[in-house]
Amino acid sequence: MLIDLRSDTVTRPTPSMREAMAAAAVGDDVYGEDPTVNELEEFTASLLGKAAGLFVPSGTQSNLCALLAHCERGDEYIVGQTAHTYKYEAGGAAVLGSIQPQPLRLDRAGQFDLAEVEAAIKPPDTHFANTVLLALENTKDGHVLDPQYVADAAALARRRDLRLHLDGARLWNAAAAAATDIAALAEPFDTVSVCLSKGLGAPVGSVLVGDAARVASARRWRKMLGGGMRQAGILAAACRHALDHHRDRLVDDHRRAEELAASLQDCPGIHAVIHATNMVFVTLDNSIDPTQLAEQMRKEGVHITPGRTLRLVTHLDITDADLDQARTAFATVLQSL
């Protein structure tokens, strides 16, 4: 099997995860009767220090349910120009919610200039959409947000009467990297979306957490969006297994990404290498043809997405031996191009 460094979404359920799925107690979750889903929602909410949780099929739907629960038609949310909730969710908030995004620039660390955020908040005026929400993302391109920045952003939001949503698809990685309790990272936010299907290795699933009223509203939106699933405990069992068994090992993914970054520094044909949590970004010299590199790497058993800047991601299915093979493959192929 190819060593797949394209994303941490490519993981396959482990044998013990599949056993947990097969053994899951289930019921009809639209009736609120799936015990495994109910437990997952409660457990995830408690881990994140929130009152309630909602199990959803994807992070995209989780973020969309949150945006719909926070914003009315004609409201506006402030979001990063390169944030998932703006750029990579097919414009769902605008298309399905009549919610206007106000995208703003994020720096390399995934952070707004808070003065720009403040300036973008529209005063009450019939000309303007109502700015009601600020959306952050942690991690962003693998970067863990600076806690002081998050505190400052939250203070600004409170002062200007905005609510706060966090796209925490990889907040588990942020908690592991910072060796902090994930609840502390979630604390400033009204709602937080977390993915179980990335580095944690579940096949499907995200959870949206927040206070009971907001989550109840999001539950109604989930139904409208077609995300009300029936015997979903089979999936929730995989997510619970991931939470119980795969959180502590995220630091291994981070170490492997760091090792990969270190060996790439020394390879020819490389312009820049950035490492952050489980991601490595490699910018190639103009002399390297990215498609040719990807093809040659594939012959060496390594799957990458071609690009002038490569994103390489470590995850549950990448072992130390796989990593060694990938490092050797990069060194050999880059030498030959």
Ligand X SMILES: *Cc1c(COP(=O)(O)O)cnc(C)c1O
The reply to whether 82 sits near ligand X by the rule CB under 6 A is no
Kindly tell me which of 29 and 137 has the beta carbon lying closer to ligand X: 137
Q: What's 197's DSSP letter?
A: S
Binders of ligand X among residues 124 to 153 (CB under 6 A) are 137
Phi-psi region of 205 (alpha: psi -120 to 50; beta: other; left: phi over 0): left
Nearer to ligand X, 36 or 197 (CB): 197
- Beta sheet of 130-137, edge-to-edge order: 52-56, 206-210, 191-195, 163-168, 130-137, 75-80, 100-104
What are the C-alpha distances in Å from 93 to residues 46, 117, 145, 154, 244? 28, 19, 24, 22, 33
> According to CB under 6 A, which one of 84, 219, 222, 240 is a site residue for ligand X?
84
Position 167 contacts ligand X (CB under 6 A) = yes
Query: In the complex with ligand X, which residue's Cβ is closer, 274 or 331?
Result: 274
Find tokens 């060496």 and name the residue. Answer: 300
Residue 169 in contact with ligand X, rule: CB under 6 A: yes
Provide the minimum distance between the beta carbon of 192 and ligand X in the complex, in angstroms, as a whole number.
Answer: 12
With both helix axes pointing from N to C terminus, report the angle between 15-22 and 233-245 in degrees, rounded to the nearest 10.
140
Residue with Cβ nearer ligand X (28 or 141): 141
173 binds ligand X, rule: CB under 6 A: no
Instruction: Please report, for residues 124, 127, 239, the alpha-carbon distance to residue 312 in angstroms, rounded to integers and kept in the order given.
Output: 45, 45, 24
**Binding residue (CB under 6 A) for ligand X from 14, 38, 58, 130:** 58
**Exactly one of 53, 59, 97, 203 binds ligand X (CB under 6 A); which one?**
59
Residue 170 beta carbon to ligand X: minimum distance, rounded to whole angstroms: 6
Report the nearest approach of ligand X to the CB of residue 8 (Å).
9
For residues 15 to 34, the per-residue mask of contacts with ligand X, x marking binding by CB under 6 A and - elsewhere, is: --------------------
Nearest to 326 by CA among 198, 142, 334: 334
**H or E element, residue 111:** none
Residue 301 vs residues 136, 297, 328: alpha-carbon distances, Å: 36, 6, 11
Please give the residue whose beta carbon sits closest to ligand X in the complex.
59
Applying the rule CB under 6 A, the residues between 205 and 224 that interact with ligand X are: 206
> Minimum distance between the CB of residue 299 and ligand X, rounded to whole angstroms?
29
Contact residues: ligand X, CB under 6 A: 58-60, 84, 137, 167, 169, 195, 197, 206
